[in-house]
Amino acid sequence: MESLLPLLLLAVGFVALILGANWLVNGATSIGVRAKLSPLIIGLTIVAFGTSLPELIVNIFSCAKGSPGLAIGNIIGSNTMNILLILGVSATIWPIDVSRVSIRRDIPAGFFATLVIALMANDFFMSKDAVIDVNWIEGVVLLACGIGYLLLTLRKNDDADKADDVQEAMPWGKTILSLVLGIVGLYFGGELVSHNAQILARNWGMSESTIGLTVVATATSLPELITSIVAATKKNSGIAIGNVLGSNILNIFIVLGVSALITPLPFEPLMNKQLMILFAANILMLLFVFTGKGRKLSRFEGVLLTLGYVGFIWFSLAMQ
């Protein structure tokens, strides 16, 4: 019973985060249109980053309030959910065709990002005697990698990268209101999620990293889930997989990079098992793309990916 109120407040926080991210993206996109930015620039910057805002805000609040244990768990859980559940559900709705640019650029970048954070989390680059963490120097490296990826994406673009459904500019009054509501929603949503996730972790006897891997990661990935499901129902598979791959890369390079600048991010060695699952999910996705007819994820493969996510959650909870 003592967990009921924090659970309700956590849910309210997640709703505020998702609505806030949507309002902020709409307002920022409207300004981008008025500034005559191309649809490609808007899609690759404002819209693409919007789906990673919940993870970023939750991590910033958690780190600022002395609970950095949520940060890495949140990203590992979110990225695993993106591949196994979101791609799985999307492919089950409609088979996903994978573009050549995703195979050449985004899938390798996702592997590289996962490898980098695994090495950093285990102090492969900067050996220490006591606490294993990702420090501010490594945070700077992550941010540099993220900027490099964005620059590469902008330089080597083709039709597969272009955003087709960028909104028209809203009136100035509505644009400003959307920006203000977005900022307020993200602030209070981040506050509610970070605070009540700590309370639930204590009440349930779970570590912060496990709460991040499961509850927080699932909820902060809702924007990606909604975006990909809508894209799949419209048979727009390029958006579905591009949204997932881009979000995973930004989550590691940008979100964890910013988080590590605020405070060192502690890493529990037991989470190496979840990192291995994330690697396995990347490999499984790649195998599915190159097996069967054409470069695509079939409905059957989508079901297998979805079942894999159920197994991931069960395994993460069983480790407690």
Angle at the Cα of 293 (from 291 to 298), degrees rounded to 5?
75
Position 253, amino acid: F
Q: Where are the alpha helices (DSSP H) in the chain?
A: 4-34, 39-42, 48-50, 53-64, 69-81, 87-93, 100-101, 107-121, 136-155, 172-204, 208-211, 217-220, 222-233, 237-250, 256-262, 272-290, 299-318
Please identify, in words, the CATH class of the domain defined by 4-318. mainly alpha
Instruction: Mark the ranges of the chain whose per-residue pLDDT is less than 50.
Output: 159-164
* Alpha-carbon gap, residue 98 to 140, rounded angstroms: 32
Which residues face 134 on adjacent strands? 265
Domain ranges of the chain: 4-318
What pLDDT shows up at residue 163? 47
Mean pLDDT of the chain: 82
Q: What is the DSSP string of 161-191?
A: G--S-PPPPPPHHHHHHHHHHHHHHHHHHHH
Q: Is 143 exposed, middle or buried (0-12, 13-18, 19+ CB in 10 A)?
A: middle
What pLDDT shows up at residue 127? 56
**36 φψ region: left (φ > 0), alpha (ψ -120 to 50), beta (else):** left
Helix axes 53-64, 222-233, angle to 10 degrees: 180
Which residues face 296 on adjacent strands? 97
* Alpha-carbon gap, residue 271 to 278, rounded angstroms: 11
What pLDDT shows up at residue 252? 94
pTM of the shown model = 0.80
* Alpha-carbon gap, residue 29 to 32, rounded angstroms: 5
**pLDDT per residue over 186-240, tens digit each?**
888 888 887 888 788 778 877 777 888 887 888 778 777 777 777 777 776 666 7
